[in-house]
Structure 1
């Protein structure tokens, strides 16, 4: 009976502690299973399980282990947030598996992804013909993001003019130019974009590099800039 009560107390304590830890680590760990998120979730689950049910192990040792590992996971998450280079190593990076309607077999091999699995992922997005796909990207959380070819996309009000004789804009893959206030030189080199061109675009908008949080050249070729200062008086902030 005494052991049963001890298990109840330890289980209740383990639940409260893991809830606090999850709250500290944030929603990203729950919604996006990157490499370090996966390791953290598995390890924290194992430690919490032992804390709840394994009465042979000292609960103070388990608690110390849980808090230490939670601290490590929090530090890794913080580093990933502040450093893009660290984030690429700790979390991985999205991988293009279909480009301009062509399957990139080498990338599939690197990901250990079979064509059967790729087709399954596409079918789950109601795509049964791979010829409909212009771009497909395997995201950090293991999910597949797909951009269909223009002729297979749903028609929106903004798309109607193109069917009235106007020239159709060519769709390209979005290019991230600035992230966390730093130019993404790798993307610039791959897409033959010069720093001077970006600097000129910043001058046109009367912006400096340090003011820009994120800049991307979209699928329609247009530039999008997101600033650190959003100038929103009452931003929505809901947990």
Structure 2
């Protein structure tokens, strides 16, 4: 029974240091991972898991091990930014599997990459006929980049001689959870007076609004707490 408080404390501590480490290392570690990122994530998870429930291990041992791992990962990431050779060693390099419409079997064998998996990844790119592919590259995170042959490529506005529309702005969140997002208002030069007038037109107060955003087309989208729906379709 006396071990329960220790497990609770260790679990909270393991979550805290894992969260801090993830924030320090950045989004790359939790996005589509390279081989090095995968190893790093598995190692950090194993260390924090041991910290949370393995009461036979002293807390400071696992914290030290975790700190060393984070330092190594951070160091590798830093030197990878500075040196292309280091980046290539740890992250790997893209591999061409189709070039000029020809499948490169030797490159596929090196990666232990099968035709079935090649076709699967092409289908995920909405390509069901390999003969349409000019170039296909397996990126360092395992994803595939594809260039179609010119006759199968999508037609662009430039191909049709149609002028492009004026560049649109990003959507700007103005109200969230019933509160003004003042930072967004200031940074995007959106007048709070204008916003309140728009809300007044709809007989709304800021506190009535769950979410309000000025879209890329300049129009204001507003969603309120009261949706005026008596029987929601997804109601359990």
1:145 and 2:145 aligned: yes
- Stretches of structure 2 that go unaligned for 5 or more consecutive residues are 162-186, 188-236
Point out where structure 1 has 5 or more consecutive residues left out of the alignment.
162-233, 235-239
Q: Secondary structure at the match of 1:6?
A: helix
1:115-149 Cα deviation digits (max 9, x unpaired): 01111111111111001111110000011111111
Deviation at 1:2, TM superposition (A): 2.3
Q: TM-score, normalised by structure 2?
A: 0.66
Contact kept in structure 2, 1:97 and 1:138, CA below 8 Å = yes
Alignment of 1:113 with 2:88, yes or no, is no
1:54 is the counterpart of 2:44:
no
CA-CA distance at 1:50 after TM superposition: 0.3
CA offset at residue 101 of structure 1?
A: 0.9
Q: Secondary structure of the equivalent of 2:137?
A: strand
Moved over 6 A (4+): none
Distance 1:22 1:127 in 2: 36
What per-residue deviation string (whole Å, max 9, x for no partner) do you get for residues 144-171 of structure 1?
111111222222211214xxxxxxxxxx
Partner of 1:210: none
Alpha-carbon contact 1:80-1:87 (below 8 Å) kept: yes
Q: List aligned pairs for 1:73-84, cutoff 5 A.
A: 73-84=73-84
Query: How many positions carry a matched residue from both structures?
Result: 163
Q: Deviations over 1:45-94 (max 9, x none)?
A: 11011001111111110111001111111101111111001111111100
What is the TM-score with the length of structure 1 in the denominator? 0.65
Question: Is the contact between residue 32 and residue 140 of structure 1 (CA under 8 Å) also seen in structure 2?
Answer: no
Describe the superposition over 1:149-208 as per-residue Cα deviations: whole angstroms up to 9, x where unpaired: 1222222211214xxxxxxxxxxxxxxxxxxxxxxxxxxxxxxxxxxxxxxxxxxxxxxx
Q: Tell me how far apart the structure 2 counterparts of residues 35 and 43 of structure 1 sit (CA, whole Å).
A: 12
> After superposition, where does 1:80-119 map in structure 2 within 5 Å?
80-119=80-119
Matched, 1:15 2:15: yes
Which structure would you say has the larger Rg?
2
Task: Decide whether the 8 Å contact of 1:50 with 1:62 is kept in 2.
Answer: yes
Q: In structure 2, what is the equivalent of residue 181 of structure 1?
A: none
